[in-house]
Chains A and B, each alone.
Chain A
């Protein structure tokens, strides 16, 4: 069974840092692109970042460039999102989701982890 399980969400003060993790199982993790997608409370979906299967290419939405870093460890079947200089507007549920290639959508999603940025 395909599973993506996020962890690491917490309450953090503005300007603080947090590292999210996404543990994958039930599929060949190293063959998939993985994205982080977030959803602020009561709002729509916002794509945040993507990393290609071997970690060679990474992409970010403008609002997080220079603050967030996506990475992966294929030996551990894990994805990470290092979030620095956090702002109130980063408050959201963060999902990881997999994508096989350019032709496919985000076909499996984790259950999400909540990040709250507040003093």
Chain B
């Protein structure tokens, strides 16, 4: 199985900050997604295929990376962005998620 490791686990930031979350895969992959989840809600797809922005997602979100190292960047944090973020590989079954990064004010 492909293991996904996110860092940091918790990130404290302020409105307007630029933040980056890292996700590392235990082997090379090309299919990676990023999700945002708020308490009591279902996850929301932000990025797929490592760098493709899902329709309707603000352009301040971007994804990059290849092979085993990937990043999610939020260029200027907005109040609505404080949530937990997960990476997920869907290169092969079983799909696996990172452990999550909680973005706090």
For B, the interface residue count at a CB cutoff of 8 angstroms equals: 25
Tell whether, in the assembled complex, residue B100 and residue A45 are in contact, meaning their CB atoms are under 8 Å apart.
yes
Q: Number of contacting residues on A, CB 8 A?
A: 24
B99 at the interface (CB under 8 A from A): yes
Instruction: Write out the residue numbers on chain A whose beta carbons fall within 8 Å of the beta carbon of B97.
Output: 44-47
Residue numbers of A with Cβ under 8 A of B are 35, 37, 44-47, 50, 59-62, 95, 97, 99, 102-107, 109-112
Number of A-B contacts (CB under 8 A): 65
The 9 closest A-B pairs by CB, nearest first: A105-B33, A105-B48, A109-B42, A47-B95, A59-B93, A45-B97, A44-B100, A61-B94, A105-B45
Give min CB distance, A46 to chain B, whole Å.
7
B27-63, CB under 8 A of A: which get 1 and which 0?
0000101010100011111011100001000000000
